Amino acid sequence: MPVSDYQLIEAWKQVLTLSNLKPGQSVTALTSASTHQQTLSAAMVAAQALGAVVNRLDLQPVNAEKSLSRDPVAYLGTTPLTGNRPAIAALKESDLVLDLMTLLFSPEQHEILKAGTKILLAVEPPEILLRTVPTVADRTRVKAAAAKMGKASEMTVVSDAGTDLHCPLGEFPVISEYGFVDEPGRWDHWPSGFALTFPNDGAAQGKIVIDVGDILLPQKGYTSSRIELTVESGYATKIEGGVDAELLRDYMSSFNDPEGYAISHIGWGLQPRCRWSTLSLYDREQTIAMDARAFEGNFLFSLGPNNEAGGSRTTACHIDIPLRNCTVCLDGEDMVRNGRVLDGGTK
């Protein structure tokens, strides 16, 4: 459903206020050919209304000759900032970067964050942004989950479908995503709402069953047949099943990179305004499917890099897979039971 300019500007004002934008600070909108123009104009008007100095940096797309998909997260690592020192310098001088093009898993992004610049990614369609405007309550809930995760030595995940995964923890930090950037050097994504970490390198063991109706990303589709992953020493060593397993194997093999099969981030969704069913209502090119990643009660795991958390593994292949109906435990205590979060919900 169309969104009025007024509504979207007001939503941006809320998010920028939560992100502690102050009069006189500099905001740079990072854009490309795929940037949604209403999102861009609303963001710039909102930032100016709050007294910021606003700039726009428009960069050319990359990776078209390498990626099998038009999805911006289907091929990671190389970005329009790779080797682009003037652009990096401009972003490092900004107090806040509004990433309206998708800059992920890159050394350039880490360099910009280390300079104290905040980065907020926002590339979903305006109606999704409006439905998922973050709140202080979202932050409280996510940080509470992250605190529990940060104290745990193991995450286990089981399901009636057959998942039985064991992930030792402690080597990598916990990451909280709640939709706004309220501290220097912070990255976040609007919309979001989940806590995540990474298993100790090479330590995850067990089996993951992707059941009918679960979601593969960037494929952005619901599975119609079961996929079974055998996890050994931190890697998916077997991908078994019917046609969905064949499709996943073929896609991943195109990267010709064994690091793409590593278990990457693990955590659970905490955003009640995101829905499992929403992906069925969109064309694949309209969304990067943050509803699927953040809906309340999912177990979200990924395959691929861990450099987002300071690890050394970089790979262009990154698969996000949210599962329903799982029980997620930290040191034997249920955090999510059969797809229902046990923290009492957002107040």
The C-alpha atoms of residue 347 and residue 344 are separated, in whole angstroms, by: 8
% of the chain surpassing 70 pLDDT: 96
Instruction: Determine the pLDDT at residue 275.
Output: 97
pLDDT tens column, 135-191: 999 999 999 999 999 999 999 999 999 999 999 999 999 999 999 999 999 999 999
Work out whether strand 118-121 and strand 263-269 pair parallel, antiparallel, or are unpaired: unpaired
Instruction: Determine the pLDDT at residue 232.
Output: 98
The token pair that represents 312 in the structure block:
């050394």
Is residue 285 very low, low, confident or very high in pLDDT (cuts 50, 70, 90)? confident
Amino acid at 168: P
Q: How many CB atoms lie within 10 A of CB 328?
A: 27
* Dihedral sign computed on CA atoms, order 189, 125, 282, 346: positive
Residue range 190-208: mean pLDDT, rounded: 97
Instruction: Determine the pLDDT at residue 80.
Output: 87
What's the pTM?
Answer: 0.94
Contact 272, 111 (CB under 8 A): no
For the stretch 163-190, what's the b/e string if a residue is b when 16 or more beta carbons lie within 10 angstroms of its beta carbon? bebbbbbebbebbbbbbbbeeeebbbbb
pLDDT tens column, 314-323: 898 999 999 9
% of the chain surpassing 90 pLDDT: 84
pLDDT tens column, 241-259: 999 999 999 999 999 999 9
Is the model's pLDDT at 237 over the cut of 90?
A: yes
Please state the φ and ψ torsions of residue 324, each to the nearest 5 degrees: -95, 165
Secondary structure class of 257 (helix, strand, coil): coil
pLDDT tens column, 260-283: 999 999 999 999 999 999 999 999
The C-alpha atoms of residue 210 and residue 323 are separated, in whole angstroms, by: 7
| Most distant CA pair in the chain, distance | 57
Residue range 71-75: mean pLDDT, rounded: 69
> CA–CA distance from 12 to each of 8, 193, 285, 344 (Å)?
6, 17, 23, 28
Instruction: Determine the pLDDT at residue 68.
Output: 67
Residue range 28-38: mean pLDDT, rounded: 95
Closest CA to 150 of 172, 181, 183: 172
Instruction: Determine the pLDDT at residue 347.
Output: 56
Query: Regarding predicted confidence, which is higher, 37 or 102?
Result: 37
The C-alpha atoms of residue 37 and residue 35 are separated, in whole angstroms, by: 6
Domain architecture of the chain: domains with CATH:
5-131 (3.40.50.2300), 136-341 (no CATH)
Instruction: Determine the pLDDT at residue 269.
Output: 98
DSSP one-letter code for 200: P
Instruction: Determine the pLDDT at residue 74.
Output: 66
The C-alpha atoms of residue 234 and residue 232 are separated, in whole angstroms, by: 5
Name which of 12-26, 98-112, 331-345 the model is least confident about.
98-112
Instruction: Determine the pLDDT at residue 346.
Output: 67
Secondary structure class of 301 (helix, strand, coil): strand
How long is the chain? 347
Is residue 344 very low, low, confident or very high in pLDDT (cuts 50, 70, 90)? confident
CA R_g for the chain: 19
DSSP one-letter code for 276: G
The C-alpha atoms of residue 316 and residue 333 are separated, in whole angstroms, by: 35
Instruction: Determine the pLDDT at residue 79.
Output: 85
Closest CA to 256 of 316, 307, 299, 199: 316
The C-alpha atoms of residue 8 and residue 42 are separated, in whole angstroms, by: 6
- Computed over every residue of the chain, the mean pLDDT equals 94
Is the model's pLDDT at 67 over the cut of 80?
A: no
Residue range 51-61: mean pLDDT, rounded: 94
Secondary structure class of 327 (helix, strand, coil): strand
Is residue 63 very low, low, confident or very high in pLDDT (cuts 50, 70, 90)? low
pLDDT tens column, 82-124: 999 999 999 999 999 999 998 877 888 889 999 999 999 999 9
